[in-house]
Chain A
Amino acid sequence: MRLLTTLFLLLPLTLHSQTAAPVIVIEQTRKIDVAVEPIGGSEGPTATKVLTDDLNRSGACRVVPTDAASFVLSGSITPTGLSGRAVPKAGGAAVVDKSFSGDARRATHLFADAVVEALSGTPGFASSRITFASASGAKKSKVKEIYISDIDGANARQLTQDKSLGYGPKFSPDGSKIVYSSDKSGYRDTYVIDLASKKRTCVAQFPGQNTGAAFSPDGSTLALSLSKFGNPEICTLSASGGTPTRLTQTRGTDCSPSWSPDGARLVYVSDERGSPGLYILPVTGGEPERLNTESSYTTEPDWSPDGKLIAYSISSGGGQIGVYDLAAKKARIVSRGSGLESPSWTRNSRHLVASQNGNLVLLDTLTGETTKIPNNLSTNTEPNTSR
């Protein structure tokens, strides 16, 4: 059941001469009007607010007074979580009628995702988490530690106490692990943190740098940038460590691999032809294919969960986010304003989490709207979203 209809408005934009991707395509999406009845229980008021915020942030729904709503949501906090219902106001069977487990916030996020999926046919992301680096200290001697939080910014928690420079945390596909790189040994190594046991394993400590690792969709393999050959190259490596397989052979700097959802290909950054651009390569090796994004200085590609899109940073225009459509072979700029980088898709292949001048934001690629993801930390960089 897909209730979303879209209107397309083409807004020509004056762009920096180096940034040629021509227009921002803004789709005005029609949202499903829902009403949220106060949720019962001692944590009910909190849950009601969390649910309302989740639905408004989803891009699929809009919370309105009951008279204007098409669906009415109700629920109550239970000892194990939340029991939630969504029914059409016109009458008929409930589209959601289920118990969700977890603390009040967690269970409410799961309820919101179930409502969004039932009404729009696309997955919700309210129950996702994000991991990111946050810097502190003087500019010349700063440290960057790795953090995790809910996607609405709540429950922020520091994972590392390395007192060194941590980079590029990324979730494993099941969300149970985080891979990141740190120079806590003096050199930049790659580590995997098991979130349940809080154990950390060093999986790559080859000469030079070991960074930018991303888990394959089946969780078995890491793709990362290694410089042990005398030059940063894209490699794959078992997620538990071992001998790397080298995939690129260029004179340029190759970094930031991201997997296609079927695990067959990687998109990565190389500057072998001048300024950094995006390339796609089969995981088995072969000839890289360059993506024509019509922008210069494009980095940080992230392949969408539905496999159709690649999001990336455009530095030449002062920090914008682009999206490349693989079927149409067309690029568009999806952000407004500046200072945006490090896009990471949410489950719906529509919203991205990104950093903007040290803050974390949620960016709707259909409308260009950003919503700040609040936390009390400074200089947040390189966010990654759990699937």
Chain B
Amino acid sequence: MQRWIRNFFDTHRPKFEKEGRFHRYHGLFEAFETIFFLPDSTTSQSPHIRDSLDLKRFMSIVILAIVPVALFGIYNTGFYACLAAGKSTAFLPSFMQGLLIFIPLLVVSYGVGFFWEALFAVRRGHGISEGFLVSGLLYPLILPPDLPLWQAAIGISFGVVIGKEIFGGTGRNLLNPALTARAFVFFAYPGQMSGDAVWISGGATDAVSGATALAISAQAEPGSQIPAMLDQAGLGLFELFVGRTPGSIGETSALLCLVGALILIITGVANWRIMVGGVLGVLGTGMLLNQLATGSLAAAMGLPAYYHLVMGGFAFGIVFMATDPVTAPGTDAARWLYGFLIGALTVLIRVFNPAYPEGTMLAILFMNLFAPLLDHFVIQIRLRKRISHV
């Protein structure tokens, strides 16, 4: 089998090389060839190789780290869909139901995304980058499960074209493409994305409460005790940590995001400074707000800071989104600050802006824009120190 595939690629390669008939499409050819075989070429754009990892391996490890989160997300999604529809909520039916929801979103994400990638690659005459394998998987995981497919398609088109290709493709984008896509859908179709009514629309009954933990926290009256309200809604600290809660497909389980984080940190693929910085940012800001909280201000100010770590998409965002090597800063000091500010902004948006119950997405996109600036200042400060020593 292997030899047959090798032969197939070898016999057809000349057609795609310079002077060949299909030279225009050599990017497509390479993309398919490297799915089967290890490429013998090296990358020319960031993320750069720091050791024996090449871009493809790099991306494979990220995907490996996402798999537990994705599997659990599929089960959890199916569970709530079955619950809302009044069907059996046993493991297998739930998982199948989840697959029925997740697979179409994944197919749309990869299909539409690769279409744009291929179009730009052929047009520009460069290879198709593997970066989209990760973006295309992350994108459906951060969508509400009942999003119409055509909206998902428009979103990923915007994310890939405006978020990435216009800036020159993988390695040159300022913004995380998957998050850009989600932000687009969020602002374009607020009705389907609001998140607090996710499960009501999926089912026929009102008996199943659709409110996510973040929606409860954002809508709480001043003076109310949010942890007690969450417990009452079945969204206690433990459930939130494990992820047995309604929400976007992949974001609910902080525990499995932690597992993913460990994989990424141990293999050195993602930078731990960003993640630790983010957690510190959330805890610091949350505790500061706790000190300032009074009965008349927003009830979310009094929410214990650690709740913010397990509610909504923060864990998923800081582990898989914020650490994207292209859009995060490249110097260590800047990474600390970048992570810290993502955490701080997330809490500030969640607490003080009831219109946006989830602040993680906006916080990461906002800090994406500042990443080059942070790097610039870190380098300037270093240079100044050196000059004084001369």
Q: Do A and B come from one complex?
A: no
Residues of B within 8 A of A (CB): none
